[in-house]
């Protein structure tokens, strides 16, 4: 996992705008509801603020040291989606940006079923990220090879099934853990560890799949194999520009609106090298 460098100074922690309360806790390993000892958690309510000496990020939480202890404890954790950290001038400290160097492949130039192979194109980007040179050493295009393998082994319609994407990635030595309820916070944590995510959403009427390669304060950085999504449709890749979908910024509001699982979660393959 990649953490930020510990920052020392005069800081304060406050609830994000729109929230009335949250619970800070002694460890990021447990939900607040799982902690029975009242001395190991504390409800932070508006308009309270916590004066802190330093902070760090770990497992999608802020870890910080208080100037004055609560329940005889100085070190606490708060969920990053619930609090902001302010500097001594009262400005919010922007969360770190994390962008992985995931190569971009368009689906528009695929030889095999280019309109239907966003899935295998995204899988190919992930394989090439973990194993650079795979595409160069593959006859034709890597994404077409993945499609051929999937169809040959599991049937013509197999590319539409997420468990077959898992099986196909495994053949190329990539482990995928798929869930239809993966929270955005978990996706960020996975990206922090240097691992890209294959994400399925309602970008088209039949659904569409993209690669999440990073995030910042306002959204995810993505590779979209079809081009760039707008609320009116797609600005598709063209023969003159096959990289319209490379390293785009899709806001959290947009991703939440197009999610199959609510505004803070989605259908996602958490990919890692085997």
Task: Return mean pLDDT, the chain.
Answer: 92
pLDDT tens-digit readout, 110-158: 999 999 999 999 999 999 999 999 999 999 999 999 999 999 999 999 9
Where is pLDDT greater, at 10 or 134? Answer: 134
Residue 28: which of 67, 73, 78, 69 has the closest Cα? 78
Bridging pattern class, strands 73-79 and 83-86: unpaired
pLDDT tens-digit readout, 101-111: 999 999 999 99
Q: What is the CATH number of the domain that holds 229?
A: 3.90.70.10
As a whole-number percent, the residues of the chain with pLDDT over 70 amount to 95
pLDDT of residue 151: 97
Residues 148 and 50 in one domain: no
Compute the distance between CA of residue 1 and CA of residue 106 in angstroms, rounded to an integer. Answer: 29
pLDDT of residue 221: 95
Residues 82 and 108 in one domain: no
pLDDT of residue 90: 84
pLDDT tens-digit readout, 232-258: 999 999 999 999 999 999 999 999 999
Residues 82 and 138 in one domain: no
Residues 41 and 115 in one domain: no
pLDDT of residue 6: 53
Flag whether 92 is in a domain.
Answer: no
Flag whether 2 is in a domain.
Answer: no
Kindly report whether the global pTM for this prediction surpasses the value 0.95: no
The parent domain of residue 76 ranges over: 7-86
Flag whether 51 is in a domain.
Answer: yes
pLDDT of residue 87: 87
pLDDT of residue 2: 38
Q: Domain boundary at 40, 65, 86, which?
A: 86
Confidence of residue 95 (pLDDT cuts 50, 70, 90): low
Average pLDDT for 36-56? 94
Flag whether 231 is in a domain.
Answer: yes
Average pLDDT for 67-90? 91
Q: How far is CA 249 from the centre of its chain?
A: 12
Where is pLDDT greater, at 135 or 61? Answer: 135
Among 143-157, 167-181, 213-227, the range scoring the smallest mean pLDDT is: 213-227
pLDDT of residue 17: 86
pLDDT of residue 50: 95
Q: Domain boundary at 59, 86, 113, which?
A: 86
Flag whether 217 is in a domain.
Answer: yes
pLDDT of residue 232: 94
- The per-residue DSSP string of the chain comes to ---PPPEEEEEEEEEPTT--EEEEES-TTS-GGG---GGGEEEEETT-EEEEEEEEEETTEEEEEEEEEETTEEEEEEETTTEEEE-TTSPBPPPPPEE-------STT-SS-GGG-HHHHHHHHHHHHHSTTTTTTSSS-HHHHHHHHHHHHH-GGGGG-HHHHHHHHHHTTEEEEEEEEEEHHHHHHHHHTT--EEEEESSSTT-EEEEEEEE-SSEEEEE-TTEEEETTEEEE-BTTBTTTTTTEEEEHHHHHHT-SS-TTEEEEEEEEE-
Q: Domain boundary at 86, 118, 151, which?
A: 86
Residues 118 and 78 in one domain: no
pLDDT tens-digit readout, 201-211: 999 999 999 99
User: Domain tally for the chain?
Assistant: 2
């Amino acid at each position: 996992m990649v953490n930020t460098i510990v920052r020392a100074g005069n800081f304060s922690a406050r609830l994000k705008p729109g929230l009335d309360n949250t619970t800070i806790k002694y460890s990021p390993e447990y939900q607040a509801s799982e902690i029975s000892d009242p001395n190991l958690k504390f409800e932070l309510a508006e308009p309270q603020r916590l004066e802190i000496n330093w902070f760090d990020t770990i497992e999608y939480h802020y870890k910080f040291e208080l100037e004055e202890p609560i329940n005889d404890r100085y070190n606490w954790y708060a969920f990053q989606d619930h609090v902001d950290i302010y500097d001594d001038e009262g400005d919010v400290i922007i969360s770190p940006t994390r962008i992985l160097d995931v190569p971009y492949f368009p689906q528009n130039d695929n030889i095999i079923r280019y309109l239907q192979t966003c899935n295998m194109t995204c899988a190919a980007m992930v394989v090439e990220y973990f194993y650079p040179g795979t595409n160069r050493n593959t006859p034709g295009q890597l994404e077409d090879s993945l499609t051929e393998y999937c169809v040959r082994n599991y049937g013509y319609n197999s590319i539409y099934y997420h468990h077959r994407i898992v099986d196909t990635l495994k053949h190329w030595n990539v482990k995928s853990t798929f869930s239809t309820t993966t929270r955005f916070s978990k996706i960020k944590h996975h990206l922090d560890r240097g691992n890209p995510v294959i994400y399925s959403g309602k970008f088209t009427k039949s659904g569409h799949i993209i690669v999440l390669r990073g995030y910042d304060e306002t959204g995810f950085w993505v590779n979209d194999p079809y081009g760039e999504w707008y609320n009116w449709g797609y600005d598709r890749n063209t023969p003159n520009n096959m990289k319209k979908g490379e390293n785009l910024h899709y806001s959290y509001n947009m991703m939440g609106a197009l999610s199959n699982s609510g505004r803070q979660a989605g259908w996602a393959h958490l990919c890692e090298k085997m």
